[in-house]
Structure 1
Amino acid sequence: MPSRDSQSSPTEPSAKDLTVKQQRDARRAEKVAAMKKKHAAEKRHRMIGIVISSVAAAGVLALVIVMVVANGTPRTSPEAIEIDGVQNYPNLVAGHVEGTVDYEQSPPVGGEHASVWLNCGVYTEAVPNENAVHALEHGAVWVTYDPAQVSGDELEALQDAVPSTYSVLSPYEGLQSPVVISAWANQVELDGVDDPRMQDFVDKFWQGGDAPEIGASCSGGIDGGGRIA
């Protein structure tokens, strides 16, 4: 009787031992497995694309909502802004003259003025009326303050509050109120640097209102004393 070790171990059938049908079935099984793997990968990619598209769409929708909310309320037209205590001085002459001018208002709000305008900016010293009025003619606002009533932190707050362009800020002694803001032919006395009417005045008259030469330059003229910005 042959020993157990001498018996032949069973072996896997080779391709030659498979029938034609078995070989065809094996190839089909390989193709089916490859197709399933391909479809699974494509499904993963589609899901990733859907997630990315959804996130992007949500971001766009959020941006649209923000824009609609921000722009949904129409801006109030300057003509509709009402300012308590504003004084209007119509029919002001806008000619150029030499020397000083005796203005009816203090600070002046318009009238004859110097041929060269005052450069807009922040001044720590009083500026010439005649040149400042020329800046008003170009649509600037002129914010004046009584240095005896406004200083320190209040002055810094006032400097931050004025528009960054087309505005003049300067001290003006003897004012009847702490702050006076003027535009061509218009003026209002303010109770202090935090008076909300200042912003209303800017919204109504800055680069607008009755100024004869709105948009003309507010630089390239002359500086007054103590310009710091």
Structure 2
Amino acid sequence: MAHPVLPEDESPPAGATAAVDEARPRRLPLLLAGVAAALVMGAALVAPLVDRALRGDEQARRALDLRLVQTWEVTDRAHTTGDVTYPQDPPAGGAHHPVWLACGVYDEPVRDENAVHDLEHGSVWITHDPDLPADDLQRLAEQLPDNGIMSPRDGLPSPVVVTVWGAQLRLDGADDARLGLFLEEYGDGHTAPELGVSCRGGTPDPQGELPGQGTNA
């Protein structure tokens, strides 16, 4: 009885095997290049997200550090030569004297009504406990903006208080890092009704009673 002849295992020709082996090394650089391109594109897409996240963290940090800033909507800008009772201590805006104070550091208390006129001009007002050490006073004076006044004040609710029109922050002392943050946030005078004006040209008299100086409409 005849038996069927089974076909022998078929193997690819030797030339075909060599072609496959040569193709594999050529595909590897292409694969690596594709992966690298994907990584570059991914980084380009992720970078803005990371940047926004970092900036968000910075904004959150500043908001947290300045969370104790008190703000008020102050609309009264009337001129008066009389005394004014202000709701804040120190005042953060309101009716004020027609004469404002000259920029600079004062070694005695200044009249509220004149200082408030400075605030209307976008000035920064740093008040401090009269008993602060000289080194602390120097540290505060070094941080005072050009458009700013600094003066001692009895009965402050904290050792140092920094004020602009409509905003105020009580500080623990001259080395309180929040002073720099407050000045960065509010020192440009943007909360003041007369942004772009300054304390230059005011009276150097702490009581603001020199006639004919520093008056405006």
Q: Does 1:175 align with 2:135?
A: no
Q: In structure 2, which of residues 167, 182, 199 is the aligned counterpart of residue 186 of structure 1?
A: 167
Q: Does 1:138 align with 2:158?
A: no
Say how many residue pairs are matched: 148
Backbone CA RMSD of aligned residues:
2.1
Q: Does 1:92 align with 2:75?
A: yes
Shift of 1:156: 1.4
Segments of structure 1 that go 5 or more residues without pairing to the other structure are 1-75
Mapped to 2, the partners of 1:97 and 1:134 lie a distance apart of 11
Mapped to 2, the partners of 1:187 and 1:142 lie a distance apart of 9
Mapped to 2, the partners of 1:217 and 1:141 lie a distance apart of 10
Paired residue type of 2:78:
G
Paired residue type of 1:95:
A
Shift of 1:109: 0.4
Mapped to 1, the partners of 2:175 and 2:78 lie a distance apart of 35
Deviations 1:80-107 (A, max 9, x none): 5521210001133111112211111110
Kindly indicate whether the alpha-carbon contact (under 8 Å) linking 2:101 and 2:206 is maintained by their aligned counterparts in 1: no
Kindly indicate whether the alpha-carbon contact (under 8 Å) linking 1:123 and 1:170 is maintained by their aligned counterparts in 2: yes
Paired residue type of 2:130:
P
* Alignment TM-score, normalising by the size of structure 2: 0.64
Higher alpha-carbon Rg = 1
Mapped to 1, the partners of 2:178 and 2:124 lie a distance apart of 13
SS of residue paired to 1:109: coil
* Alignment TM-score, normalising by the size of structure 1: 0.60
SS of residue paired to 1:199: helix
Kindly indicate whether the alpha-carbon contact (under 8 Å) linking 1:98 and 1:114 is maintained by their aligned counterparts in 2: yes
2:139 — aligned with what? 157
Shift of 1:208: 2.7
Mapped to 2, the partners of 1:193 and 1:136 lie a distance apart of 21
Shift of 1:187: 0.3
Mapped to 1, the partners of 2:133 and 2:195 lie a distance apart of 31
Mapped to 2, the partners of 1:92 and 1:180 lie a distance apart of 22
Deviations 1:69-88 (A, max 9, x none): xxxxxxx8xxx552121000
Report 1:49-64 matches (<5 A): none
Percent identical pairs in the alignment equals 45
